[in-house]
Amino acid sequence: MKPFIAVLLLLAQGSPGNAPGDAYFGRLKMSTLRIRYETMQLKKRYETHQLLPEQAEHLLQLTDDAYMEWARHYPRDAWLPSTGFSIAQLYEELPGATARARAVTLLTYVASTFPKSPYAQKSRAQLHQGVSVKPYPAWARATPAPAPTALPSPAPTTLPTLAPSASPSPA
């Protein structure tokens, strides 16, 4: 009877490796599926210029926050290497030193935490090539508004008017 209860307890705890589908992480309480989906959608929306770089970076930081909490709770989840690598790839596309630093951190995390995964090999290759700081893209720069020009004031006219004048005319 005791072995049967022990087996039931183990089964009730679930797999210690993968996160359950109804577990939520980060400030936005994202599921593992949502984290992966959001990463793909942010990449698509940024590449099609639907998001400015700062908007994409803000949303990616929230997704990254959820990813890191997921990794703390389920460090052996099979989806962590690919998801971490995907997030790092998107950080690499974004301009600025903050995005570059975050990309390097995630690539290092994937390479060191999941050394036997194919994403660890890809991460090491990326780190070996170097991750550059991307400049702010031209398509996202604000275009200056045209300077307002002064409208010419109407010139005084000497044409007779139909309105009666205030001073009497000499007769």
> Nearest Cα to 31, choosing from 64, 66, 59, 60?
66
Confidence (pLDDT) at 75: 95
* CA geometry: angle 27, 25, 28, nearest 5 deg: 30
Residue 132 has pLDDT above 90, yes or no: yes
If you average pLDDT over every residue of the chain, what do you get? 85
Query: pLDDT above 90 covers what percent of the chain?
Result: 70
The residue behind tokens 């275009």 is: 143
- Answer whether residue 167 is part of any domain: no
More confident residue, 128 or 151: 128
| 170, pLDDT greater than 90 | no
In a domain, 72, yes or no: yes
Provide the domain limits for residue 129.
Answer: 21-134
Residue 10 has pLDDT above 50, yes or no: no
Label residues 114-138 b or e (16+ Cβ within 10 Å = b): beebebbebbbebbeeebeebeeee
Is residue 65 situated within a structural domain? yes
Long-range Cβ contact pairs of 107-114 (< 8 A, separation 24 or more): 107/131, 109/71, 109/84, 110/80, 110/81, 110/84, 110/85, 113/71, 113/75, 113/80, 113/81, 114/80, 114/81
| Number of domains composing the chain | 1
Domain assignment present for 170: no
In a domain, 163, yes or no: no
Lowest mean pLDDT of 9-13, 20-24, 109-113, 128-132, name the range: 9-13
Q: Is residue 98 part of a domain?
A: yes
Confidence of residue 105 (pLDDT cuts 50, 70, 90): very high
Tell me whether residue 70 is in a domain.
yes
CA atoms within 13 Å, Cβ hemisphere of 101: 4
Does the pLDDT of residue 13 top 80, yes or no?
Answer: no
Tell me the pLDDT tens digit for each residue of 23-50.
Answer: 999 999 999 999 999 999 999 999 999 9
Q: How confident is residue 165, by pLDDT bands cut at 50, 70 and 90?
A: low
Q: Average pLDDT for residues 10-31, to the nearest whole number?
A: 79
Q: Is the pLDDT of residue 12 over 50?
A: no
Question: Is residue 142, in this structure, part of any structural domain at all?
Answer: no
